[in-house]
Structure 1
């Protein structure tokens, strides 16, 4: 289901994926099957999203971000792809960010560019992730640090 109040320019969207109102999906984005893209999301061109992914409202997925299968992205998670952003000045290449299979990112977390969030890991709400997150770990805080579960 693609809501009538969206701007979906990509034809690379898998079966049983829902895209809710007020979303923009650019032409080269690839989105898998059985995903849920909630309202007010933006997905740029150089983005790959796997199967069974949930992206809650208010998330922008910028060029250079790969989200693997069964990932949960909470509301208003902020991704970045430029280490030194300046108005009207763009890097030759955007840093690559990888969210591995089964990871979960809590609401309002910020993910700096060039980060890998490991398989099955958990990023706590409001955390600021400044370095890679190990698989099956939980990180919280600013800057995000690993805690015992």
Structure 2
């Protein structure tokens, strides 16, 4: 494990083997960072956030609790995963809100998904397996497995395979031009299909 001298990692965080935490990053109490994951410069990992093995959190990303990231998730530079669906600094009576005045809601990102630079995922949303959120997108609704979404608000513009390349339709099968893997429509997006 490597933790940069200027990083702040709570002694109540659980850090897997081979984890790297770079300069000025912060990992809060009760966070779990899986084996071989990377937390980039200036990234923030909130209290109780769970990050699966082999994930990459790029520079200046903000992962607010109670986010849950699966294995091999990519979070691009300056991505924000929010945790307050109806944000306010004060209550209706004018008093300042405290932790007791709201319940954090998290973003869930499944295995292999990638969130592009400066994208924002507004909780509560669920990003499916191997999905890709384009840079700068604002996600306000769930994303299907293997879906490619872009825009503000984010809309599905296609499908991607495990290699990250947009898929091409061949009849009712979707094919990856890079790996030649085949996919078919399933209940929650696409699923892999034997060739």
TM-score band w.r.t. shorter chain: over 0.9
Q: Which runs of structure 2 are paired with 1:74-85 in the superposition (5 Å)?
A: 74-85=76-87
1:31 to 1, 23, 33: 33
TM-score between the two structures when normalised by the length of structure 1:
0.96
Match of 1:97 in 2: 107
Structure 1 gap segments, 5+ residues each:
none
User: For this pair of structures, how many residues does the alignment match?
Assistant: 149
Q: Is the 8 A contact 2:13 2:27 kept in 1?
A: no
Q: Which runs of structure 2 are paired with 1:66-81 in the superposition (5 Å)?
A: 66-81=68-83
CA RMSD for the aligned pairs? Answer: 1.1
Q: Does 1:124 align with 2:139?
A: no
Deviations 1:21-45 (A, max 9, x none): 1011112111100011110011111
Match of 1:13 in 2: 15
2:122 to 107, 112, 124: 112
Structure 2 distance, partners of 1:99, 1:111, is 10
TM-score between the two structures when normalised by the length of structure 2:
0.74
Structure 2 distance, partners of 1:71, 1:105, is 8
The 3 A distance-change label for structure 1 pair 11 and 63 is: closer
Q: Which has the larger radius of gyration?
A: 2
Match of 1:139 in 2: 149
Deviation at 1:92, TM superposition (A): 3.6
Deviation at 1:97, TM superposition (A): 1.5
Match of 2:48 in 1: 46
Secondary structure, counterpart of 2:156 in structure 1: strand
Higher relative contact order (CA 8 A, sep 6+): 1
Deviations 1:3-62 (A, max 9, x none): 111111144000001000101111211110001111001111121000000000011111
Structure 2 distance, partners of 1:64, 1:37, is 17
Q: Is the 8 A contact 2:29 2:48 kept in 1?
A: no
Deviation at 1:93, TM superposition (A): 1.9
